[in-house]
């Protein structure tokens, strides 16, 4: 009998555990979790990667001057504040916590480092397919 009670209690604990562990979805909790996420995926790192990617599209003689210009002109604190605001207005506290937990882990850090390369490979394909579909749609509309 004691064993049955213990098993029932264990099952109930597993069922109720996610509810007990959920963060209250308040502005303060969202902000705290957004800050944790931003520490795991720093806005400065994302910005630096983006600036270098844009610079690669420029003629070689303009790449470093553009990077130097961007470093001096971009308001990093303002951008970070905007990122944190967007995070808190888009995701719940639990979602932000999960993002911070994942991207703060070694596997998450590895994923974050590779995401730019992945996006660079996939987005041209996606845009080609979307453009072709838009062209097909326009042709069909003209035919009607």
> Are 76 and 121 members of one domain?
no
User: What is the Cα–Cα distance from 122 to 66, expressed in whole angstroms?
Assistant: 26
Q: What is the pLDDT of residues 62-90, one digit of tens each?
A: 999 999 999 999 999 999 999 999 999 99
pLDDT at 1 over 80: no
User: What is the Cα–Cα distance from 21 to 28, expressed in whole angstroms?
Assistant: 17
> Are 100 and 30 members of one domain?
yes
> Are 42 and 99 members of one domain?
yes
Residue 120 lies in a domain: yes
Cα within 13 Å of Cα(27), Cβ side: 1
Alpha-carbon Rg for the chain, nearest whole angstrom, is: 23
Contact 67, 52 (CB under 8 A): yes
User: What is the Cα–Cα distance from 31 to 18, expressed in whole angstroms?
Assistant: 21
Q: What is the pLDDT of residues 90-143, one digit of tens each?
A: 999 999 999 999 999 999 999 999 988 898 899 999 999 999 999 999 999 998
Contact 79, 44 (CB under 8 A): no
Residue 12 lies in a domain: no
Which pLDDT score is estimated for 8?
47
User: What is the Cα–Cα distance from 44 to 93, expressed in whole angstroms?
Assistant: 23
User: What is the Cα–Cα distance from 115 to 107, expressed in whole angstroms?
Assistant: 12
User: What is the Cα–Cα distance from 24 to 94, expressed in whole angstroms?
Assistant: 8
Domain that holds residue 119: 114-138
pLDDT at 15 over 80: no
Which pLDDT score is estimated for 116?
85
Residue 15 lies in a domain: no
């Amino acid at each position: 009998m004691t064993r049955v009670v213990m098993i029932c209690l264990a099952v109930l604990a597993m069922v109720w555990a996610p509810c007990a562990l959920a963060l209250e979805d308040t502005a303060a909790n969202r902000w705290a979790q957004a800050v944790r996420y931003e520490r795991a995926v720093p806005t400065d790192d994302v910005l630096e990667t983006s600036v270098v990617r844009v610079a690669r599209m420029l003629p070689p003689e303009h790449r470093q001057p553009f990077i130097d210009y961007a470093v001096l002109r971009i308001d990093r604190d303002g951008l970070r504040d905007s990122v944190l605001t967007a995070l808190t207005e888009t995701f719940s506290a639990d979602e932000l916590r999960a993002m911070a937990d994942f991207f703060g882990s070694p596997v998450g850090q590895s994923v974050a480092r590779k995401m730019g390369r992945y996006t660079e490979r996939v987005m041209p394909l996606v845009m080609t397919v979307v453009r072709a579909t838009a062209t097909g749609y326009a042709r069909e509309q003209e035919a009607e």
